[in-house]
Copies of this chain bind each other. A is one copy, B any other.
Amino acid sequence: MKIVLLGSGNLATQTGRALKMAGQNILQVWSRQPENAFQLADLLHVPAAKSLAEIDRTADLYIIAVTDDAIKEVATSLNITDKIIVHTSGSTDLSILEGASDKIGVFYPLQTFTKNKSVDFRQIPIGIEANTAEVLNAIRSLAERLSENVIDMDSHKRRTLHVAAVFACNFTNHLWVLAQELLKESNQDFNLLRPLIAETAANVQLTNPINLQTGPAVRNDEEVLNKHLHLLEGNLNLHELYHKLSQSIVKFDKPV
Query: Which residues of A in the span 181-201 have a Cβ within 8 Å of any Cβ on B?
Result: 181-183, 185-188, 190-201
A217 to B157, CA, bound (A): 21
Binding stretch for chain B, among A30-38, A58-66, A132-140, A235-243: A235-243
Say whether B177 contacts A160, CB under 8 Å: no
Say whether B175 contacts A124, CB under 8 Å: no
Say whether B151 contacts A164, CB under 8 Å: no
Collect the chain B residues with CB atoms within 8 Å of residue A195's CB.
Answer: 110-111, 123-125, 149
A165 at the interface (CB under 8 A from B): yes
Binding stretch for chain B, among A43-51, A73-81, A99-107, A206-214: A206-214
A245 at the interface (CB under 8 A from B): yes
Say whether B196 contacts A176, CB under 8 Å: no
Q: List 13 A-B contacts (CB under 8 A).
A: A111-B195, A149-B195, A166-B215, A168-B176, A169-B197, A170-B215, A173-B200, A173-B213, A174-B249, A180-B209, A198-B201, A237-B248, A241-B248
A228 at the interface (CB under 8 A from B): yes
Shortest beta-carbon distance from A83 to chain B in Å: 27
A195 to B124, CA, bound (A): 6
Query: Which residues of A in the span 72-121 have a Cβ within 8 Å of any Cβ on B?
Result: 91, 110-114, 117, 119
* Interchain CB contact (< 8 A) of A174 among B91, B110, B180, B252: B252
Say whether B173 contacts A196, CB under 8 Å: no
Query: What 10 A-B pairs have minimum CB-CB distances, sorted nearest first?
Result: A170-B215, A201-B201, A176-B209, A164-B179, A160-B186, A167-B179, A168-B179, A177-B209, A169-B200, A168-B193
Collect the chain B residues with CB atoms within 8 Å of residue A201's CB.
Answer: 197-198, 200-202
A33 to B90, CA, bound (A): 50
Say whether A244 contacts B240, CB under 8 Å: yes
Say whether B231 contacts A170, CB under 8 Å: no
